[in-house]
Amino acid sequence: MRQSAFARVLQLGLGVAGFAALLLALVAASYHFNVRVDLSPGSRFTLSDHGLAVLRNLKDPVHVTGFIRTEDPRNVVLKDLLWQAARESSRISYDVVDVNRNPAMAAEYGISAYGAAVVESAGKRSDFTNPSETQLVSAILDVTQDARKVYLLSGHGECSIKETERHVGCSVFGAAIRDENYGLEELTLFGDRSVPEDADILVVAGPTSDPLQSEIDAIASYLDGGGKLLALVDPFVAPRLVELLERYGIRFGGDVVLDPENRLGGGELLSAVITDLSSQHLITSTLDSPALLSGIRSVEARSDDSVGRSATRLLRTSERSWATEDAEVMRGAEPRFVAGRDRNGPITVGVEVAQPAARGEAGRKTVILAYGDSQFVTNRFLDYLGNKDLLLNSLNWLARDDNLVAVRSKAKTPGKNFFFVSQAEMRDLFQRAVIIQPGLLILFGALLFVYRRLRP
C-alpha cells in the first residue's frame, strides 16, 4: 500500500517537473524566436517596407540613445520602435535613458526635451523628438548616407515648398523629400544661369508659364550631360518645355484626360484614381495603393534604338476614360466627347525614358520621369492613397537608390483611417443597398403572398 502511494507521488512529481520544464522551454523558444502578429488598425506596430529596406541595407553600425521621463506615455512607443529596429538589423543597437535618473548623460548629449532620441554612426549624429518610424528612418539615413541634392525649378508659377496653403502649396512635398535625406533648394535659371553641378535631380513641378529659351537651353545642357529630371506638367501649359522633352522621346498631349468612373465618389470630374500601374517597373510595382491625380494630361514615350533610348509606361487610365482637346473643361465647362477630336482610353499619363548621355563620362545616362499632372504633389493630394510613395519612389529611382523604392509608413492615428470610394464603386453600393436588396425582399414577399393565396 505504501509502495503504491509512493509511486503515485513520484509520478505526480515527475509530471509537474516535466510540465514546468515544458513551460520553460516554451518561454525560452518564444524569447529567441519572437513572432508578433499585428492586428491593430493600419498595422500601427509593424515597420513599413521602406523602413525594413533601410534597416536591412545598413553597412555601418548605428547606435540610438533614447531619453525618456518616467510615466511619459510616449515611452512605450519609443521602446517598441527601437526594439523593432534592432530586431530587423544586427547593426542597430540602442539604450534607453531616464532623464530624471541620469541628468548628467542628458546634459552631455545636450538633450533638453523628453522623448528625444540621438542616432549616431561613423562620427555623425542626428536627433529626432517624435517617436515615429518616419523620423527614425530619416535620422538613420542622415547618418549613414551622403545627402543627395534636389533642385526645384521656380519662377514660372511652380508649386512652392515654402507655401503652406492646402490647394496650391507644396510644403508637405518639401518635408517629405527632406525626410528622405535629400537636400532641397529652389532654383531660378534667369540670367543665363546653368543647373548647378551638384544637382542629382532637377524637378519641374507644375509651371503655369513657359520658361525662357535661355532656361530651356540650360535644362537641355544639364540633360545632355547625364542629368536626371522629374517633370510634372499640367494640361495646356509650358509649350517650350514640352517641345524640349520631345527631343528625348516624350510627347505631352494637348488635352485633358477624364475618367468619370474612377473619380472619387462625389468628387470633381478632373480627378481620377489611377489603378493601372505598370508591374514592369520598380517605381509602380511596389505601390500598395493607386495614385490620385487631378487635372491630367496625356503623355507618351517612344524608344529609339539609334540613340539607345528605352521608354517605359508607368501609369495609365482605365478603358472607359477619354482625352479631350477642349481646354474649357479645365475652367469648369461640361465635358463632351467629340468623335474625331477626342480619343478613347486607356490613356498613358506617366512614363520614363532613359538614354546614354550625349556628353560627359562614359556610362552616364539621361533619365526623365514625366507625369501629366502636378496636383498630386500639392498639400491637398500628397497624403492620399499612393501619391507620396509615387513621388518619393520616383526620386529614389532617379537618385539610383533602388533599395529605397518601397512603400513608406502611413499616418497611423488610432481610430482614424482614410476610406476612398470611386464613383463606380459608389454607384454599385447604391444599387446593391437601395435597389437590389430591397427588390429581393419585395420579390420574396410577393412570392410568399401568391403562394399562400393559391395554397389549397
Please say whether the beta carbons of 285 and 323 come within 8 A: no
- How far apart CA 291 and CA 299 sit, in angstroms, is 16
- Do you find a cis peptide bond into 196, omega within 30 degrees of 0? no
273 backbone dihedrals φ, ψ, rounded to 5°: -85, 120
pTM for the model stands at 0.80
Which of these, 223, 215, 212, 224, lies nearest to 194 by C-alpha position?
215
Judge: domain 49-143, CATH 1.10.4080.10: no
The alpha helices in 74-120, defined as continuous H runs, are 74-88, 103-109
28 backbone dihedrals φ, ψ, rounded to 5°: -65, -40
Joined together, the cell numbers standing for residue 243 give 517641345
Looking at CATH, the fold of the domain delimited by 147-404 is given as Rossmann fold (3.40.50)
The pLDDT tens digits along the chain (456 residues) read 556 777 777 787 788 888 888 888 887 776 666 666 655 555 566 788 888 888 888 888 999 988 888 777 777 888 888 888 888 888 999 888 888 788 788 788 887 777 788 898 888 888 888 788 888 888 888 888 888 899 999 998 888 888 888 777 889 989 889 888 888 999 999 888 899 999 999 999 999 999 999 999 999 999 999 999 999 999 999 999 999 999 999 999 999 999 888 877 666 788 888 989 999 899 999 888 889 898 899 999 999 999 999 999 999 998 889 899 988 888 878 888 888 888 998 999 999 999 999 887 778 899 999 999 999 999 988 888 889 999 999 999 998 887 778 777 765 544 444 555 666 666 666 677 778 888 888 888 888 878 787 776
The residue extents of the domains of the chain are 49-143, 147-404
